[in-house]
Amino acid sequence: MTGEQIIFLVVAFFTLGSGLMVVTTGNLVHAALWLISTLFGVAVIFALLDAGFLAVVQVVVYIGAIAILFIFAVMLTRKDMRDQGPQMNRNWWIGALIAASSFGGLFFLLRGWNGLSRTASAIPSGFDAVNELGTALVSPTAYVLPFEVASVLLVAALVGAVYLAFNRK
């Protein structure tokens, strides 16, 4: 077992454990904090996959913005859930069953896939992934249209969120 595999296993179990805490812990502020540690684990996975830009965006956008937004929302809707009965709904065991069977199904499909033996080719020397990504995002022959659609979506979400949460007196 190589060092990279050991790092992967440690990070993977850390990520999955934090993810389990996110969905099971009773205190929502704690759940948001566990989400931050899950997101950080995923950022390390991105770094292991040589996707450095994704790792940085994960830390800046997900941890820096989205997780903080969650903590704000938890505090703004602060009628403590713990004195309002259980955290799980009555049919939580059906949810657990569906989640377990979805994992089982995905794992089964994965076993039958014939691409599992492929290995990562070495990154060619002089290949700048961030440069390539930036070029691909604005190149008319590549992904400029999804990029523009994403920016329109963000503007629409910005306007919609302000409209929805605006407190009309």
Partner 1 sequence: MVPISWYLTLSAALFSIGLFGVLSRRNAVAILLGIELMLNAVNINLAAFWRYGNVMDMAGQVFAIIVFAVAAAEVAVGLALVISVYRKRNTVIADDIDLMKW
Q: Which of residues 33-52 bind partner 1 (CB under 8 A)?
A: 35, 38-39, 42, 45-46, 48-51
The correct pick among 10, 30, 100, 128 for binding partner 1 (CB under 8 A) is 100
The correct pick among 83, 112, 118, 125 for binding partner 1 (CB under 8 A) is 118
Start-to-end CA distance of the chain, whole Å, equals 63
Reduce the secondary structure of 125-138 to three states and give it as a string. Answer: CCCCHHHHHHHHHH
Residues 126, 136: Cα–Cα separation, whole Å: 17
The contact pattern for partner 1, residues 53-92, with x = CB under 8 A and - = no contact, is xx--xx--xx--xx--xx-xxx-xx-x-x--xxxxxx-xx
Q: Does 161 bind partner 1 (CB under 8 A)?
A: yes
Q: Does 143 bind partner 1 (CB under 8 A)?
A: yes
Give the containing element (helix H, strand E) for 163. Answer: helix 144-165
**67 in helix, strand or coil?**
helix
* CB distance 46 to 60 below 8 Å: no
Residues 95, 75: Cα–Cα separation, whole Å: 27
Binders of partner 1: how many residues, by CB under 8 A?
91
The correct pick among 112, 116, 140, 169 for binding partner 1 (CB under 8 A) is 116
Residue 140: CB minimum distance to partner 1, A? 14
Residue 120: CB minimum distance to partner 1, A? 5
